[in-house]
Amino acid sequence: MVASVLLGGCTQVFGLAPTEQQPVTDAAFFDAPADAPFACPPIGETPQFSRVLNQIVQSCGEYSATTEGRAVALCTEPANQLAEGPLDGLLIPIAGLEQTAELHVDFARYAPEGDELFVRSWTQSTTIGRIRVYRRQAEGFVYTHDVALPGQTTDSFVRFGTPSRGPRRRMMVRNNAFAYQEIEFDAAGTAVLIASYVAADLGVTSITQSPPNLTPDGLRLVFAGSTTNASGVLYSDRASLADRFQPGRLLPGIPINPTPFLTHDCARIYVSAIGYVFWVQRL
């Protein structure tokens, strides 16, 4: 009953069609290869999405996923901790990434290949934050190194988007009072600055604190922002990694939220709201 009330209210607030509840499902089913009927649209075209909002029934947010169907999020059940598992399925707390009153471990972003996890780590008593890299091993996720921004010390408010695929990855980062920075870094985490963006460069008057999330090819991104006429989730693309991103185009019907995530094939967008994760399917 509580879920039904929340879903109904969510639909009214977001102005979408009826919400469809997705149960927590068996991991073995979702570990099987998935059909991939979609491919991202040609550069310059904007994908269109259904107005039906689907809910994942586990209290989580800040969702991202790999190309092979694994996902990570910051959850409040069964524990207030980063959790990982099958796409759309039950996420399990990640051993070794527990939060304490002093140490905060949050804002995780999965590498497209699923081999690395990028996590923000900061302490309550300092203003220093780190972009920590955990490598997936047989025994779980093991810390290997930090991503070092060129000429900067990252603070506790540092935020970053999903990276592109390796071995040299691109990532959008916001640190201190700097603009949104596109960096490229190697397997050791040594980064160089590629480009800087302010809101106007992406065709908006403001962007949420969370930087845009890149697709694995580094050619497309989504972010939440506001224009003079509307607020919502926007999509941008570019022809090559040597180009700058074009001004964003608003995706109709997708609720504004800080951390929209676009899957590698542009088939779905995941959003976080009212303590849960939702997704919309591409038409």
Domain boundaries defined on the chain? 2-281
Interatomic CA distance for residues 194 and 170, integer angstroms: 9
Say which DSSP state 199 is in.
G
pTM: 0.86
Strand partners for 83: 73, 93
Interatomic CA distance for residues 130 and 147, integer angstroms: 8
In this structure, what token pair is assigned to residue 154? 């990252």
Per-residue three-class SS string for 79-124: CCEEEEEECCCCCEECCCCCCCCCEEEEEEEECCCCCEEEEEEEEC
Per-residue three-class SS string for 195-258: EEECHHHHCCCEECCCCCEECCCCCEEEEEEECCCCEEEEEEECCCCCCCCCCCEECCCCCCCC
**Predicted confidence pLDDT, tens digits, the chain (283 residues):** 223 233 344 444 455 445 555 555 444 444 444 555 789 999 999 999 999 999 999 999 999 999 999 999 999 999 899 999 999 999 999 999 987 877 788 889 999 999 999 999 988 888 788 999 999 998 899 999 999 998 888 887 889 999 999 999 999 999 876 689 999 999 999 999 999 999 999 999 998 878 999 999 999 999 999 988 889 999 999 999 999 999 999 999 898 888 999 999 999 999 999 999 999 999 9
Q: CATH topology for 2-281?
A: Tachylectin-2; Chain A (2.115.10)
pLDDT given at position 20: 52
